[in-house]
Structure 1
Amino acid sequence: MKQKLYQVDAFTDRVFSGNPAAVCPLMEWLDDSILQKIAMENNLAETAFYVKENDRFQIRWFTPEVEVDLCGHATLASAFVLFNLENYQEEVIQFYSPRSGDLMVSKKEDMLTLNFPADYYKETALAESLLACFTAKPLVAYKGKTDYLVEFENEQLIRELKPNLTAIAKLDARGLIVTAKGEEVDFVSRFFGPQVGVNEDPVTGSAHTTLIPYWAKKLQKNSLTAIQCSARSGYLLGEYLGDRVEISGKCVLYLSGELYLD
């Protein structure tokens, strides 16, 4: 059995930057154990699988270790594949996730825009479990649906942070977002998720469902620019819409090929 596979760098306009995602268009769902093995073999932060169902596409995302509730960059990459490689002719793609509901992606020239539910977060104590994650001390901490978010004093601290991955892996969350006001953009961030097999994710769309509402309220503006300053780095545009957010970026194709499955 042959299976199409694409690898796309998301939230960037050049290869070897942004966040790489594998995308597998399926005719029908394979067994979950096979999906997990494909993701493990790809060894990328996420592999996205989708199946067309009437006028929408059901989508699921797997890290090398687990299935996750939401993944922005792999959804952006899936939309890029549909628009550019799988002959999808409309300007809006309606994805559906059993875990996260309706997820739309629109296209304007080479810019793709995710429309995702906004995260709801609340302030939490700077407990020892969080303080142990870094040598630098954060200013404040919040807990969203799946992640912790901690703010630091400036962009330089974010770029220079050396995470204690052992401590982060013990947090009761999918992962940990660190953020600060940006020098040339509205805000910068990084994301650490050893709990799900991703020590540091290069560019995390789903984390921006928390970051965009947070910085929109803090900066009193709804249109935002952002950089996730990992080693690969990625550039994002954000729009706060109240109960939803828009997250925009570009993608480039790195490879296309076929898997050979028994």
Structure 2
Amino acid sequence: MKKIQLYQIDAFTDKVFGGNPAAVCVLDAWLPNETMQQIAAENNLAETAFVVPKGEEYELTWFTPTVEVDLCGHATLAAAHALFTYYGHSSEEIRFHSRKSGLLTVTRNNDALTLDFPVDVLEPAETPEALVTALCKAPQETYKGKTDYLLVYTSQADVEGFDPDIALINTVPARGIIVTAPGNEVDFVSRFFCPQVGIPEDPVTGSAHTSLTPYWSERIGKKVMTARQLSKRQGALQCEIAGDRVKITGKAVTYLKGEIEV
């Protein structure tokens, strides 16, 4: 029986019960994929991050309750929060080597954490009919990135009002569906539906902002923007385009510290 420290962190929020909860397990060495998948399923959160120290740096991967994913922003933010808070990471930057997305860094500035992620490349795309039916509204524009569709709407009210047919969205071949519009009090708002990875609607999605940031930067002519994800839990982000990288800043708070036995 192996004992593993587990932390549940609410990311992209400054208070518990907000933002997006992620579990973080800091390991001595990698567990079998099957075991990590079982832990993530047992945690039953959008993502569980697994971290393995390698000298002054760390290896990292993420699992939803059903699959390992290529990139996850909020669980990376949560992992950095755990390492800064409970493992005495000495510098203001953490370097993660992710199994599927290469080098990712997180920088601390007081109580704010900034993710440095690769930018997504968007291409104009036809809107799948299933999405128009599922959302009951056609978008103004549609794009396809590496893993997700990005659907652009007219107003924040559009994004707030969606009650989509999740089973129909699940038929579309994509990791997830981002819906977005100009914000009333921030530069842009979004929601993210991703049933194909076991999450009907993700509360706050850092990786989706690697698609959202280049789109809105070009559209409104700003490099640094404020954003809000309009899930029930809500999430606040600052996004900056920096060449072929996106810097995504938010806060994180600890909800739970514990120990699991596997």
Q: TM-score range by the shorter chain?
A: over 0.9
Instruction: Output the CA distance in 1 between the equivalents of 2:125 and 2:177.
Output: 13
Aligned-pair identity in percent equals: 52
- SS of match in other structure, 1:133: helix
- SS of match in other structure, 1:230: coil
- SS of match in other structure, 1:17: coil
1:7-156 matched pairs, under 5 angstroms: 7-156=8-157
State the AA in 2 paired with 1:205.
G
What's 1:182 paired with? 183
**What does the per-residue CA deviation read over 1:176-206, in whole Å, with 9 as the maximum and x for residues that have no partner?**
0000000100000000000000000000000
Instruction: Output the CA distance in 2 between the equivalents of 1:93 and 1:103.
Output: 8
8 Å Cα contact 2:128/2:172 also seen in 1: no
TM-score when normalising by structure 2: 0.98
- SS of match in other structure, 2:91: coil
**What does the per-residue CA deviation read over 1:226-246, in whole Å, with 9 as the maximum and x for residues that have no partner?**
000100000000000120000
Task: Indicate yes or no: 2:217 matched with 1:216.
Answer: yes
Instruction: Output the CA distance in 2 between the equivalents of 1:170 and 1:126.
Output: 13
Which portions of structure 1, spanning 4 or more consecutive aligned residues, are displaced by more than 6 angstroms? none
More displaced 10-residue stretch of structure 1: 247-256 or 125-134: 125-134
Give, in angstroms, the shift of residue 55 of structure 1. Answer: 2.8
Give, in angstroms, the shift of residue 137 of structure 1. Answer: 2.0
What's 2:235 paired with? 234
What's 1:246 paired with? 247
Give, in angstroms, the shift of residue 129 of structure 1. Answer: 2.7
| Structure 2: segments with no counterpart, 5+ residues | none
Give, in angstroms, the shift of residue 132 of structure 1. Answer: 2.0
Give, in angstroms, the shift of residue 125 of structure 1. Answer: 1.2
| Structure 1: segments with no counterpart, 5+ residues | none
Give, in angstroms, the shift of residue 98 of structure 1. Answer: 2.0
Instruction: Output the CA distance in 2 between the equivalents of 1:112 and 1:93.
Output: 10
State the AA in 2 paired with 1:110.
D
TM-score when normalising by structure 1: 0.98
Instruction: Output the CA distance in 2 between the equivalents of 1:260 and 1:172.
Output: 36
State the AA in 2 paired with 1:257.
G
